[in-house]
Amino acid sequence: MVIHDRLEGWAPWQTVSFGTIDDMGAPDPVLHPGARPGELAYWVNFDHPQHDSSGSGPYRKAQIWARYLQPAPMA
């Protein structure tokens, strides 16, 4: 599940969404000044195409920082 980080004043995606982590490659280190130490980014295949916070998209797949991922609740 792609979430909004409660500690930040904005979110990179317009809504909370669901998807599956793509297992075709290993997660990549996030090389950005705002990254947490050792933070990784995972490729996520969205269940439904998503728009980012700037309105771009829709995207079927995106690289998502670990802080925005959590397991989806069991149905």
> 57, 62, 10, 52: which is closest to 34 by C-alpha?
10
Reported pTM: 0.86
Question: Does residue 56 fall inside a structural domain?
Answer: yes
Residue 8: predicted pLDDT:
72
User: pLDDT tens, 6-32?
Assistant: 777 678 899 999 999 999 889 999 999
Identify whether 73 is part of a domain.
no
Average pLDDT, the chain: 91
Could you tell me if residue 33 is inside a domain?
yes
Q: What is the pLDDT of residues 21-62, one digit of tens each?
A: 999 889 999 999 989 999 999 999 999 999 999 999 999 999
Residue 1 within a domain: no
d(CA 34, CA 71): 23
Q: Is the residue at 75 inside a domain?
A: no
Helix (H) or strand (E) holding 34: none
Q: State residue 20's pLDDT score.
A: 95
What residues make up the domain containing 31? 19-68
